[in-house]
Structure 1
């Protein structure tokens, strides 16, 4: 987890009862990820078990690499390159097409590792990733060997199952996250717009085995979020929304260009409350990870239960969200537009459109309107949702005292009197001088 990230958010194998509950859950189809204005059909095949022993074996390798290379796996250090080589060798042997993306940061060469599983619709790509670098002060086994190992073992499980999902699967291990998301930013910034449009979702896993663990789910794309929440609900494990660190791990560059994102987190140096300890166990008044960014972040700094559950959740999400290409007859539907629209300073209103199709009846009484508007003075901005018949629903008024940047929010709208199908518009106007901005992206969740 990056040094500039506010840190908050995220015992033995599952008992037999929990395992049965997990099996029952995985046998049940779940909503699939957003893909260019549609949602995917439920998964037909349940994810396999992800052996905890395998995930921990990868962590042991990361620890050995760090120990042999000055005690860390940081960007520009030999321990990082050795970590990349270890992961790449596993994936090459499993039948992945791998590539190393090279970049420079702080005068040192860094690497991203990208691995593509053959097959699936190349125009609908589901991606999952984790940063592989540590800080210079330690081996980084929870931060972020845990996420890296779980994503690796999930990718290997795809190979063992010879999975043939409807969507194309891509996995990534990022470099220099601890220096400010350098590797993932480099990847996204160098991805042509035509390739960006093919990404139906990016899942991020940064610290998922914290010793005093919590169970936090990213509050971003609603379909991805619901996939994780439903998984944990099936295990009778309550979750909380991960908000303190929002936008400060490797999902942020993807989110900033309108790609649906989601992920899991088990917590860093913030303190677990009494209420959280009551529902999750562990110790109230202590950090989720007391070894965050420290030399004690080694193989002893892992909660096996949290690592096991989160690894299984990753596999469940990959199997579920990569299945199907059509609109399900019921359930959530997400429609989005990520085309930038400039908002003129103190000028006329502009609009961005979304064509909704495949729905039945009227829109819901709790239609969710997610907006991402970049602006240097958000108080100047007035926002309306326009229904297909032209009816306007005010989302945000101007406010002279609201001097913060950007409008990134989700607004509930009672649109139950409106027909769901048709062209919906986001109307944005800047009503005061001197500050400018643009519509970055927006979406409707039915």
Structure 2
């Protein structure tokens, strides 16, 4: 029978606490000094295959074709106009010849028939689909070579590089070209809305390229899905080019159709009508006080409206993302991330934390996130325990209780963390809120 805390003589508790304190101190002294980072444990992920260099000349050859198509069809490639369908036919012929399975999806918008083009590369896990896409239509006032022939050409040439390499991805690769984006993301919305719930859940990520060759370019990365964002940021850091978070077109391109359906998204952008600042010109070159693309939605958006360096970099960055994300296996459900570094919990003192870093998961944490806790303590009722999400949101695991007189907290808690991105620094926070007893965090883990 456990003696109620209120009946325990205080001097007896002090003696017990003193012995326990010495024991804990001895245990901590015996543990080798090891950083939390060094002892975080997660499953070893397979190394991704290195992506090939995407030939700039090939990407520009596609732009030349888009320009020729626009010139022969009233100066544009807009939805409902012959230039759009001719552009789609050009892209489809390239993909068919390269071994893709292509599908043309029809929809109606503004009284005209629109078309999406979907291209699937054989193989890969059909329950883990990685998509990359771009809108193929222009506005009616111009040929749309930067907006968005640039993204369409980069996605096309990356797909053709997959074929040249005869890539055998772990994820299933799907590429897409959307119609009627300029009328309100019509084509991509139609595609997403036509997917069954199960098919939506199988899309592990969607990467969007819209305007990636602006003549006065910036280097912007979408900050939606942390895993996709990190792949792009790391690639650009590797070539010494700083990036900024994309804000000008946020929600104005086809990634929004996927994001609104709960699908992880990311992408690249070099700027539209917003003005480049002096700080950005210092960082990236180009002209401060001038729009990233002075020909945005204008007749001068021709093949002369392209910055070759930006187009080349973004094409290579997309290929890197497709190879990196498409040739590694997603960490499966049941994967565990653990920190076994001891952290002393001061008696009646400030809260302490222990960190577990998660970097290899797409999307949000599950609604059944398992938090395994092993805290050695001589009076567990003194302890308040919280899980802190990467953004600082606290999930209470355990309250203090004067009647909870047992030793130690060794338990697994279930947390609905589905509102939180899975990747990031998760922390266990522990505070001793009453006097006379001590302890330490022995270990803790997250199981997804």
TM-score normalised to structure 1 length: 0.71
Q: In structure 2, the residue corresponding to 1:368 is in which secondary structure?
A: coil
- 1:150 paired with 2:128, answer no
Which residue is equivalent to 2:72?
A: 68
Match of 1:423 among 414, 417, 422: 414
Which residue is equivalent to 1:443?
A: 421
Counterparts of residues 33-432 of structure 1 (less than 5 Å): 41-327=45-331, 332-334=359-361, 336=363, 353-356=367-370, 367-369=389-391, 385-386=394-395, 389-390=397-398, 423-426=414-417
Give, in angstroms, the shift of residue 425 of structure 1: 1.9
Larger Rg: 2
Q: Is the 8 A contact 1:219 1:243 kept in 2?
A: no
* Structure 2 Cα separation of the partners of residues 93 and 360 of structure 1: 58
Q: Is the 8 A contact 1:40 1:323 kept in 2?
A: no
Q: In structure 1, the residue corresponding to 2:416 is in which secondary structure?
A: strand
Distance change (3 Å), C-alpha of 1:116 and 1:173: same
Q: Which moved more, 1:326-335 or 1:160-169?
A: 326-335
Which residue is equivalent to 1:396?
A: none
* Structure 2 Cα separation of the partners of residues 420 and 235 of structure 1: 46
Give, in angstroms, the shift of residue 337 of structure 1: 5.7
Give, in angstroms, the shift of residue 390 of structure 1: 5.0
Distance change (3 Å), C-alpha of 1:365 and 1:311: farther
* Structure 2 Cα separation of the partners of residues 364 and 247 of structure 1: 34
Q: Is the 8 A contact 1:113 1:173 kept in 2?
A: yes
Distance change (3 Å), C-alpha of 1:277 and 1:93: same
Give, in angstroms, the shift of residue 423 of structure 1: 2.7
Give, in angstroms, the shift of residue 244 of structure 1: 2.7
Give, in angstroms, the shift of residue 325 of structure 1: 1.9
Q: Is the 8 A contact 2:214 2:272 kept in 1?
A: yes
Q: Is the 8 A contact 2:48 2:325 kept in 1?
A: no
Aligned residue pairs total: 343
TM-score normalised to structure 2 length: 0.71
* Structure 2 Cα separation of the partners of residues 122 and 219 of structure 1: 26
Give, in angstroms, the shift of residue 138 of structure 1: 0.3
* Structure 2 Cα separation of the partners of residues 58 and 119 of structure 1: 26
The C-alpha deviation readout for 1:383-433, integer Å capped at 9, x for no partner, is x6535x3579xxxxxxxxxxxxxxxxxxxxxxxxx999853225xxxxxxx
Q: In structure 1, the residue corresponding to 2:174 is in which secondary structure?
A: strand
Distance change (3 Å), C-alpha of 1:296 and 1:364: farther
Structure 2: any 5+ residue segments left out of the alignment?
A: 1-41, 338-356, 376-384, 401-408, 425-448
Higher helix share: 2
Distance change (3 Å), C-alpha of 1:181 and 1:265: same
Q: Is the 8 A contact 1:39 1:334 kept in 2?
A: no
Structural RMSD (CA): 3.0
The C-alpha deviation readout for 1:91-137, integer Å capped at 9, x for no partner, is 00000000000000000000000000000000000000000000000
* Structure 1 Cα separation of the partners of residues 97 and 371 of structure 2: 43
Distance change (3 Å), C-alpha of 1:39 and 1:323: farther
Distance change (3 Å), C-alpha of 1:326 and 1:242: closer
Q: Is the 8 A contact 1:129 1:203 kept in 2?
A: yes
The C-alpha deviation readout for 1:256-312, integer Å capped at 9, x for no partner, is 111100000000000000000001000000000000000000000000000000000
Q: Is the 8 A contact 2:129 2:203 kept in 1?
A: yes
Structure 1: any 5+ residue segments left out of the alignment?
A: 1-37, 339-351, 371-383, 393-417, 427-438
Distance change (3 Å), C-alpha of 1:102 and 1:281: same
Q: Is the 8 A contact 1:148 1:205 kept in 2?
A: yes
Q: Is the 8 A contact 1:43 1:321 kept in 2?
A: no
Distance change (3 Å), C-alpha of 1:107 and 1:445: same
Q: Is the 8 A contact 2:330 2:361 kept in 1?
A: no
* Structure 1 Cα separation of the partners of residues 116 and 99 of structure 2: 19
* Structure 2 Cα separation of the partners of residues 359 and 305 of structure 1: 51
Distance change (3 Å), C-alpha of 1:184 and 1:358: farther
Q: Is the 8 A contact 1:255 1:261 kept in 2?
A: yes
The C-alpha deviation readout for 1:155-197, integer Å capped at 9, x for no partner, is 0000000000100000000000000000000000010000001
